[in-house]
Each structure stands twice: as structure tokens, then as C-alpha cells.
């Protein structure tokens, strides 16, 4: 199965789960809890209040070497957006890809997604844990903050 088929399948349009594809084209579904969605909204709102250029949005499908992964929140420059605006799935990752770790996620899974996003062109990866603490990464290491949003807090609270 490919991403266009997933998007066109009427049986999948109203399910309350995040859908991704694994390397074999199989659907992987992850149900989101309320807290997860709240962190998504808070992170998106904070970025939008701090960075006036570019776009910030949730649930961004990204083509990776392990098929389609969906970042919880992304920030993308207008220049990069022009490259992907007509794509069903981003052919290049937005500059910042953010994941919110749920209790059902493993750290190994989050590290794999981080590597996949970097290989797909991301410049920064952020990880928000179950307590709202945010870690920032460049391709090779953990960093103190992201240059695109230098004043983003190290934690978001509900």
C-alpha cells in the first residue's frame, strides 16, 4: 500500500488513530491520548507565537527510507514549503520535526524516527516526553535549543 492509497481509502478517513506506513507498505496505527494532543497544540502555538515566518502544523506525513512517518508537529520555511506544497507526502522533511513520546512509544522508536527525519532532510528534531520536557537535537548531538526558535522553553505545561 502507498500513501495515496491510504489517503483515498474511505474506510480509513474517520478512524481516531495516527496512521503511518512501515517499510513493507503495511499500515501502522497509534491511538492518541488527550495529553498527547494537548502537547501538540501547545508546542504548535508556542512556535507560532515566537516565529513569524514559515509554517507550523501538526500531523505531517514525511517520506523516509522506512516509508511514511508522521511527525506530530513541524516547522517549515516558506522556501522549503514551495518544494513540497503539492506533495501528498513530504518528499523532503520540514526543517524541524517534533515528536511527542507517549507511554506506548519506546525511546528506541523515537530515536529511529529522529534518524529517519534527519536522513529525509530535517535540520532539527525535538522530542517532548510524557511530562512535557522538550529535548532538542541536531543531526549529530543533543543541543540546548534550536536556532530557529531559540527561546522555546525546555518544558511545556498543561
pLDDT in tens, 125-136: 999 999 999 999
Question: 141 — phi, psi (to 5°)?
Answer: -160, 165
pLDDT score of 7: 61
Domain 32-143 is of which CATH architecture? Answer: Alpha-Beta Complex (3.90)
Question: CB–CB of 97/117 below 8 Å?
Answer: yes
22 alpha carbon, distance to own chain's centre: 16
Cell digits for 60?
505531517
Q: What is the pLDDT of residue 115?
A: 98
Lowest mean pLDDT among 7-21, 35-49, 135-149: 7-21
Percent of the chain whose predicted confidence (pLDDT) is above 90? 69
Q: Is residue 29 pLDDT above 70, yes or no?
A: no
Residue 136 sits at the vertex; the CA angle it makes with 77 and 128, to the nearest 5 degrees, is: 100
pLDDT grade for 66, boundaries at 50, 70 and 90: very high
- 3-class SS at 144? coil
What's the pLDDT at 43?
A: 97
pLDDT computed for residue 12 by the predictor: 62
Domain ranges of the chain: 32-143
Within 8 A by CB and 6+ apart from 67, the residues are 20, 21, 22, 23, 24, 25
**For position 11, what pLDDT does the model report?**
67
Look at residue 53 and tell me whether its pLDDT is greater than 70: yes
> Confidence band (pLDDT; 50, 70, 90) for 36?
confident
Angstrom distance (rounded) from CA 74 to CA 60: 7
CA distances from 48 to 43, 118, 120, 137 (A): 9, 22, 24, 20
Q: Please list the helix, strand and coil fractions of the chain in percent, rounded to the nearest 5, in that order.
A: 30, 35, 40
Tell me the whole-structure pTM to 2 decimals.
0.86
Buried b (16+ CB within 10 A) or exposed e, 113-125: bbbbbbebbbbbb
pLDDT tens-digit map of 100-150 = 998 878 899 999 999 999 999 999 999 999 999 999 999 989 999 989 999
Residue 9 CB partners (closer than 8 Å, separation 6+): none
Section 12-39 average pLDDT: 71
Amino acid at each position: 500500500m502507498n500513501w495515496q492509497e491510504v489517503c483515498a481509502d474511505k474506510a480509513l478517513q474517520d478512524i481516531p488513530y495516527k496512521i503511518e506506513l512501515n517499510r513493507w507498505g503495511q499500515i501502522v496505527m497509534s491511538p492518541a491520548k488527550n495529553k498527547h494532543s494537548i502537547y501538540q497544540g501547545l508546542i504548535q502555538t508556542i512556535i507560532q507565537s515566537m516565529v513569524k515566518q514559515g509554517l507550523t502544523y501538526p500531523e505531517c506525513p514525511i517520506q523516509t527510507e522506512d516509508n511514511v512517518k508522521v511527525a506530530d508537529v513541524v516547522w517549515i520555511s516558506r522556501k522549503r514549503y514551495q518544494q513540497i506544497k503539492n506533495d501528498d507526502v513530504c518528499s523532503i522533511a520540514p526543517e524541524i520535526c517534533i515528536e511527542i513520546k507517549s507511554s506506548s512509544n519506546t525511546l528506541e522508536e523515537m530515536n529511529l524516527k529522529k534518524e529517519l527525519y534527519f536522513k529525509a532532510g530535517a535540520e532539527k528534531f525535538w522530542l517532548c516526553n510524557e511530562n512535557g520536557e522538550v529535548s532538542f537535537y541536531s543531526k549529530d548531538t543533543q543541543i540546548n535549543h534550536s536556532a530557529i526558535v531559540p527561546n522555546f522553553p525546555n518544558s511545556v505545561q498543561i
